[in-house]
Amino acid sequence: MIKSKLLALSVLIALFSCKNSEEQLAEKPTGWEILETPVQSSLRGLSPLTNEIAWASGSNGTWLRTIDGGKSWDHGVVEGLDTVDFRSIYAFDAMTALVVSAGQPAVIYKTTDGGQSWKLKHQENEYAFLDGISFSSPTRGFVIGDPNEGKWTILQTANQGDTWYPVDSLPEAAEGEAAFAASATSLLAEGNSLWIGTGGTQSNLHFSKDMGATWEKYPSPFIQGESSQGIFSLTSMGGRRNRRCGR
């Protein structure tokens, strides 16, 4: 239960951070507390760590951090990138976190001083669209991106995000098959296993038992065929997992 309270609060924060109207704030579920953030951005990335510590990210290059359970928030813009949408965030502790952009530029930034400064750790080509991030251990993580030239974009790191490189074998993608950056959870990394849930023209589960060296594909029963259909999110019953808002 250590994360349950802050997980719930973080979801509500993301939903209501835009503060569009008084009516939205009035319609709250019974038993939930709504916390207003000091930003106007749309928040898509969430990474709760404990009952006190959570990070968030979103449009206009925005990042946020609380270390007191949401009573107050540190916030800012990543290195002046006020046009970038950081829909994915992964936090390691109160001082260290990674953010991943959706769209162009396709970048990964890291902070080790609680958000006071951010350093560029990776930039993909001008065709890339990055969709989400997942870590299987404290040091090894993966970033999923939409297909390029018929193959999925999958990056990996073995040093907590300081350097990134493609996995050994990139699985093939059908034309029009894509992942959803709205949830930032189309990729699930756990132990040596990687799962990718896709949508669009086809909805499939791509599975690797050896961290991307080999792949298997399983058709999903989800409604599919349109750009907004298919698998939006993956999760696991065990292990540490970031939760984020979807569409």
Structure tokens at 214: 């080999």
Structure tokens at 86: 């950081």
The predicted structure's pLDDT at residue 29: 74
Domain boundaries, the chain: 124-235
- At position 184, the amino acid (one-letter code) is A
> What tens digit of pLDDT does each residue of 78-91 get?
998 999 999 999 99
State how far the alpha carbon of 145 is from the alpha carbons of 41, 93, 178, in Å.
23, 25, 8
19-33, 136-150, 179-193, 195-209, range with the lowest pLDDT: 19-33
Between CA 17 and CA 24, with CA 23 as vertex, the angle to 5 degrees is 30
- At position 169, the amino acid (one-letter code) is S
Band of residue 186 on the pLDDT scale cut at 50, 70, 90: very high
Q: Rounded CA gap, 180 and 145, in Å? A: 9
pLDDT(106) > 50: yes
Question: Taking all residues of the chain, what is their mean pLDDT, rounded to a whole number?
Answer: 87
The answer to whether the CB of 124 falls within 8 A of the CB of 153 is: yes
Q: What are phi and psi of 235, to 5 degrees?
A: -150, 175
pLDDT(116) > 90: yes
pLDDT(18) > 60: no
> What tens digit of pLDDT does each residue of 21-44 get?
444 555 667 788 888 899 999 999
Pick from 27-31, 66-70, 177-181 the range whose average pLDDT is largest. 66-70
The predicted structure's pLDDT at residue 243: 40
Terminal C-alpha separation, the chain: 26
The predicted structure's pLDDT at residue 100: 98
Please name which of 30, 86, 34 lies closest in space to residue 60, comparing C-alpha atoms.
86
pTM value? 0.83
* 3-class SS letters over the chain: CCCHHHHHHHHHHHHHCCCCCHHHHHCCCCCCCCCCCCCCCCEEEEEECCCCCEEEEECCCEEEEECCCCCCCEEEEHHHCCCCEEEEEEECCCCCEEEEEECCCCEEEEECCCCCCCEEEEECCCCCCEEEEEECCCCCEEEEEEEECCEEEEEEECCCCCCCEECCCCCECCCCEECCCCCCECEEEECCEEEEECEECCCEEEEECCCCCCCEEEECCCCCCCCCCECCECCCCCCCCCCCCCC
Tell me how crowded residue 68 is: count the other CB atoms within 10 A of its CB.
10
Q: What are phi and psi of 9, to 5 degrees?
A: -65, -40
